[in-house]
């Protein structure tokens, strides 16, 4: 088990390595998880034209969206912590698992955008040879309630998004952002991606599976009530300058979120939400799903 301070793309980073060989790379800038290698394969997508630092959001990996998701409010899109250079390493550990905890505290700059005092702590842990966990804790250090929306905006790497199936969302209500947030109901059975998709699944279950050929990712979320599904699709992909031609095919965003209804933290209280990913065999996963296990 190892935790190493390193540098990538001109930014300081922390590299976690599990005894099995799995690894994770976290930029201190924006507390951004940019790589998760499991079973010898990279499981997260990062654009080949991503920008690093300088107040830019890194396209791919797991950006932390807080205290606002998307454009649902007066703040910059997805809030300000995904572009903050004020994060610092609070602590690291190697036992029982490689882990890093980063912290961000309000200051004069954040209070100009978001007046509430806060302290964020974000942990990334390689908690097994084939799993990784992230947890975002929000401490309200002020005297008034603190409300926010948030998401851990995960870009999963896939061979071709049109060949991926997502299991676990059948029967759920969702807001469709491609149709002015119209509320629809997801049909039963696995979901396939045929074009642009931008949805917030309301009160989504804790568990879902992303199946891509012979491999699958089991996603577990905790504390976040909603789940977000996004791919820009071929038609609109040219509008994203930090996404190279054709790269829209190679990611699927599926993420834990508190989106439809803001979370509220009382004064001097805290809130925690997280997600865990596990690499699993697709046949095994589909067999268990078919048996309802």
Residues with catalytic roles = 153, 255
Strands of 23-27's sheet in order across: 2-8, 11-17, 23-27, 32-38, 41-42
3-state SS, residue 282? helix
Cα gap 290→293, rounded to integer Å: 8
**Helices and strands (H, E) in the chain, number of each type:** 3, 22
Tell me which residue of 28, 21, 24 sits closest to 7, measured CA to CA.
Answer: 28
292 is written with which tokens?
């309802």
229: left (phi over 0), alpha (psi -120 to 50) or beta: beta
Whether the CB-CB separation of 252 and 233 falls below 8 Å is answered with no
Cα gap 209→201, rounded to integer Å: 15
7 is written with which tokens?
């540098």
201-235: burial string, b at 16+ Cβ within 10 Å, e else: bbebeeebbbbbeebbbbbbbebbbbbbbbbbbee
Whether the CB-CB separation of 137 and 272 falls below 8 Å is answered with yes
Angle CA(245)–CA(14)–CA(43) in degrees, nearest 5? 40
**Cβ neighbours of residue 38 closer than 8 Å, sequence gap 6 or more:** 22, 129, 130, 131, 132, 279
């Amino acid at each position: 088990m190892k935790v190493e301070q390193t540098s990538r793309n001109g930014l300081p980073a922390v590299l976690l390595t599990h005894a099995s060989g799995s690894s994770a790379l976290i930029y201190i800038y924006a507390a951004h998880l940019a790589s998760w290698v499991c079973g010898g394969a990279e499981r997260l997508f990062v654009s080949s034209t991503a920008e690093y630092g300088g107040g830019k959001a890194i396209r791919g990996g797991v950006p932390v969206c807080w205290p606002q998701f998307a454009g649902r409010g007066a703040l910059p899109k997805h809030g300000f912590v995904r572009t903050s250079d004020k994060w610092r390493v609070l602590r690291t550990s190697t036992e029982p698992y490689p882990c890093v905890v980063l912290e961000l505290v309000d200051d004069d700059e954040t209070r100009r955008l978001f007046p509430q005092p806060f302290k964020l702590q974000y942990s990334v842990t390689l908690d097994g040879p084939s799993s990784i966990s992230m947890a975002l804790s929000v401490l309200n250090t002020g005297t008034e309630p603190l409300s926010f929306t948030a998401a851990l905006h995960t870009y999963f790497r896939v061979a071709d998004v049109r060949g991926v199936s997502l299991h676990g969302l059948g029967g759920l209500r969702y807001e469709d952002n491609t149709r002015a947030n119209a509320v629809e109901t997801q049909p039963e059975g696995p979901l396939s991606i045929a074009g642009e998709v931008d949805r917030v699944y309301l009160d989504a279950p804790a568990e879902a599976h992303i199946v891509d050929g012979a491999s699958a990712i089991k996603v577990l979320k905790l504390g976040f009530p909603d789940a977000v599904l996004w791919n820009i699709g071929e038609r609109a992909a040219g509008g994203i300058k930090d996404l190279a031609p054709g790269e829209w095919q190679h990611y699927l965003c599926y993420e834990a979120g508190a989106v439809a209804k803001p979370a509220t933290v009382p004064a001097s209280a805290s809130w925690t939400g997280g997600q865990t990913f596990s690499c699993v065999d697709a046949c095994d996963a589909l067999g268990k799903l078919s048996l309802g296990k």
